[in-house]
Chain A
Amino acid sequence: MNTTLQITPPPLSEYYSETKCTWCDGCGNYGIWTAVKYALVELNLHPWQVCLCYDIGCHGNGSDKIQGYRFHGLHGRVIPFAAGAKLANMKVPVIAFGGDGATFSEGVGHLVHALRSNYPITFVLHNNADYALTTGQASSLTWQGQPMNASPNGIPERTLASMDFIFSLQPSFVARGFSGDIKLMTRILKRPSSIAALPSSICSKRVRHTITSRRMSIFWKGTSMLMPMVMIQAICSERKHSRRRFKIVLPAASSINGKTFPTSMSDSLRGGDWRRHAWRRCGSMT
């Protein structure tokens, strides 16, 4: 299929914001922030063409450090807002950003049903296993036993196996990368065709599991024509932590192809209903 894409990408400066960054030195948010800008530019998208939705937390403080139609909402609720925005105007690519607190505590229900509904949005999870903005309480991805603010004796709860959990929900596309690797993050962010809102070259690959580096895992299913819900987990803990973070074992390929990953087309279409639904029905009034 031939699609006319804009030839000249917008200059990166279009995404420049005068607002000073307030993140701590070495924060993983810098990497994701930069990668998002690179990815949007490389996808030939001007700021006015995208909708960026932020949850609450340090990452959400990035909402005024970039250009684009942005939204900075309530804790844990970014996914349904982004889904509503997307369903209302399917022509605008929508990216939602959330932290591990929003995704796996306050808004875990939204994550579950968003994956079920397979909304055609991209969701970027900023995972630092920490509630940084509220000065360092534990999230459900903080490893068990780690002393944190409000749990000086180490957190008693078991750590939630985030990727196992996500895979159990039969997602369409999931990738995980390290926030400090901007090149890698850019590549991941560019993959999901839903950002571009146009079919791209990764279509027709039904189920694949790629490990391109020790630090990156991409899982996807279905074709880009389906414009699936895309979930990207960016690990952005400090180095001391990140070493520990990688101890979370990724599911083996077999289990992805077998038990937890649907392989038939009908399965993959089932989740795509919301996309087709919305294309057919909805449209902005203007």
Chain B
Amino acid sequence: MTRISIKIVGASGQGINSIGEIVAKGLKRSGYCVFGYREYPDLIKGGHSSYQLDISNERVRSTETKVNVLFALNHHGLELNMEDLKERGVVLHVTPGWQFPEHHQKLIKERSLRVVYFPVDDVLTRLGAKAILSNTLLTAFVWSMFDQDVDALKSLVGQKFAKKKALLELNMRCIDEGYSFVDPVEGKVSVSLPSSNKEFSSHLLVTGTQAMGLGAIHAGVRLYAGYPMTPSSPLLSFMADLEDKTHMVVKQAEDEITAAQIISGAMYMGTRALTATSGGGFDLMSETVSLNAMIENPTVFVLAQRPGPATGLPTWTAQGDLLQAVNTSHGEFPRCVLSVSNSQDAFELMPVAFNLAEHYQISVIVLTEKQIAEALYTQEPYDLEKAEINRGKLVTDSEKLKALQSSNRYDPNAEGGISMRWLPGSNAVTYCAQGDEHDSTGTVDETWGGIKAQMEKRMRKLQRLRAELPEPRLAMASYGEKGTAWIDEGDEIELLVIGWGSSHDVIQDVMRSEELRERRVAYLHYTYLWPLCTWELQRLAKRSKRTVLVEQNYQGQLGMLIRMECGLDIADKILKYDGRPFFYDELLSLLLKQFADKINGHHAVASSSTKGKNSHNPKAAGFSV
């Protein structure tokens, strides 16, 4: 797979995102798969930010640490990001008279870098255009560098300014100028892309947040309540921007507690409702999660993770809130935790989450990460025909409503602990959604037998859920002529990788690399994190030479849960907790290192990751349950 990457760097608010997005859109239309990754500080303006696009004619869903093109919109980028360039890379900058310091001059020589200075101010003055048009100018230059068709860019920009004729003309002139610019020193600079693949031109360009929002709408959500907290805020904005189309109630609440209570009230009333927050906000919502467990009110919460503790790193990514979600709130009660991993399942899992919530009458916590929420995906169009809505034991038929007894609501003998549910306003006997321990009708009950029966009723739902949730999903590299059949033929697995969340796509990309695609590597991806299914894992771990856990947190939280649930201790861990996602080349080298290391894995990974610190079991590198 040939991959090309361009990193646009500069101050926040300088137009990094708009250049990135327009280039991404243009390339996608021309038939390329684009993956966009943003890094930015917790500021509105200023601060060093970047927008990186990784481009290929095959599916690409990860970011490289080294890029082919560095596009510096200010001199800070030249100071900070020169090391990011690959051999024969291109530095494009707009700083007049910039003198590279000695070590950078050396770097330019060593890596045979090509440096292009684009005199953006001169050109703008000549055209009589405002500074804002520098984005168009520079985008056009990047376009010519990639040898793309100028008319494609013109039609793209033309759509944006179709109604502003004067501005449109100026933009077109900027495109001509930018496209035809040739550096007097370097001459025509080009970075060749692989041949395009028309399949991608019909794809969508979406962020994980947009995918999740569309998924929620697809799931029948009619009310969204939220309180802004990065990285969940874009979902609130997205739902609000669509409210005139969806005719959905979108409410910015006064705090996360309110948002959680509003959606709980709405779900009690029978309307599918959603809220999203990040770890700190979820702390505030957790009391409501406990309440919903007691009144057996189906609810769905989105927990968009960022590094903590406290406000931590608002604009960076992590997988540090898994244990928070699994252990949320006081008391013992069933809940389901699942995690999205990209724009595909961010869409698909929203209906699933609501169906699970309503079927089992529990809270479902959907984890996402800043990386997923804000990454830009080239996504094949979603299946909008398929819409399975399962409302569980909801009674709506008028005859059946009339036959109901109040005691049906929390009937402790209900099969699987899942009792009938009917909505306020239904012509039937009524009940109390009781936050105190209660009997089958919702009347407060403190008798020993009653308490026991209700606790067992609720916890039976967890047993049922555990039995019915799908096992983790297995993916493998193709091994020579066998393709992926080797896994079914019972061959030994050289390396079994365990992970969840955004690591999924990076691991998938890495498994298709030159280095790994001919090895017997398998990846077991956990979508459903609680209750945890470990049968498949234990089976596979037994036939694996090495097992390694890949997570973006310090403790290896999924590893802790696995050990808690089945005793399997995965000693080898690739853990990352620096606010960055896994990068393609970084993860590749970390996984390759696993092969090189001793089987018992006692001198595993380095760099930003740590090795399995908690390995007490010397035999624990992937088996002995």
A positions within 8 Å CB-CB of B = 17, 19, 46-51, 53, 56, 61, 63-64, 67-74, 77, 80-89, 91-92, 109-110, 112-113, 274, 277-278, 280-286
Contact = CB atoms under 8 A, between A and B. Distances in A.
Given A53-B265, A71-B265, A282-B249, 20 more contacts: A17-B443, A19-B444, A48-B430, A51-B424, A61-B444, A64-B434, A68-B430, A69-B430, A70-B432, A73-B435, A74-B435, A77-B257, A77-B261, A84-B263, A85-B266, A88-B222, A88-B267, A89-B424, A109-B258, A278-B249
Given A61-B444, A282-B222, A84 B266 contact: yes
A70 B425 CA distance: 11
Given A51-B269, A80-B262, A83-B265, A113 B251 contact: no
A113 B265 CA distance: 16
Nearest to A18: B443
A113 B261 CA distance: 14
B550 to A, nearest CB: 38
A85 B262 CA distance: 7
Given A48-B430, A83-B265, A282 B223 contact: yes
A63 B287 CA distance: 20
Contacts of B443: 17, 19, 64
Contacts of B291: 73-74
Interface residues of B, number: 53
Interface in B236-278: 243, 247-249, 251, 253-255, 257-258, 261-273
B442 interface: yes
Scoring B223, B247, B429 by chain A CB atoms within 10 A of each residue's CB, the highest score goes to: B223
Scoring A47, A63, A68, A85 by chain B CB atoms within 10 A of each residue's CB, the highest score goes to: A85
Contact of B261 (A70, A81, A278): A81
Contacts, number: 166
A91 B269 CA distance: 11
B392 interface: no
Contacts of B438: 64
A81 B264 contact: yes
A282 B254 contact: no
Contacts of A68: 430
B428 interface: yes
Nearest to B253: A80
A80 B434 contact: no
Contacts of B220: 285
Across the A-B interface, the 5 shortest Cβ-Cβ residue pairs: A84-B265, A84-B262, A69-B424, A88-B271, A88-B266
A47 B430 contact: yes
A284 B423 contact: yes
B268 A281 contact: no
Contacts of A283: 222, 271
B288 A88 contact: no
A236 to B, nearest CB: 21
Contacts of A282: 222-223, 248-249, 271
A29 B257 CA distance: 27
A238 B167 CA distance: 74
Contact of A71 (B253, B258, B262, B433): B433
A77 B271 CA distance: 19
A63 B434 contact: yes
B254 A113 contact: yes
A235 B284 CA distance: 32
Nearest to A56: B435
Nearest to A17: B443
A90 B75 CA distance: 57
B436 interface: yes
B394 interface: yes
B426 interface: yes
Interface in B431-451: 431-436, 438, 441-444
B270 A285 contact: yes
B225 interface: yes
A92 B424 contact: yes
B295 A84 contact: no
Nearest to B268: A85
Nearest to A71: B433
Nearest to B255: A109
29 contacts: A48-B427, A63-B432, A64-B434, A64-B443, A67-B430, A69-B423, A69-B425, A69-B433, A72-B436, A74-B288, A83-B261, A84-B223, A84-B263, A84-B264, A86-B265, A87-B249, A88-B265, A88-B267, A88-B270, A89-B269, A89-B270, A92-B425, A113-B253, A281-B222, A281-B248, A282-B248, A283-B271, A286-B270, A286-B396
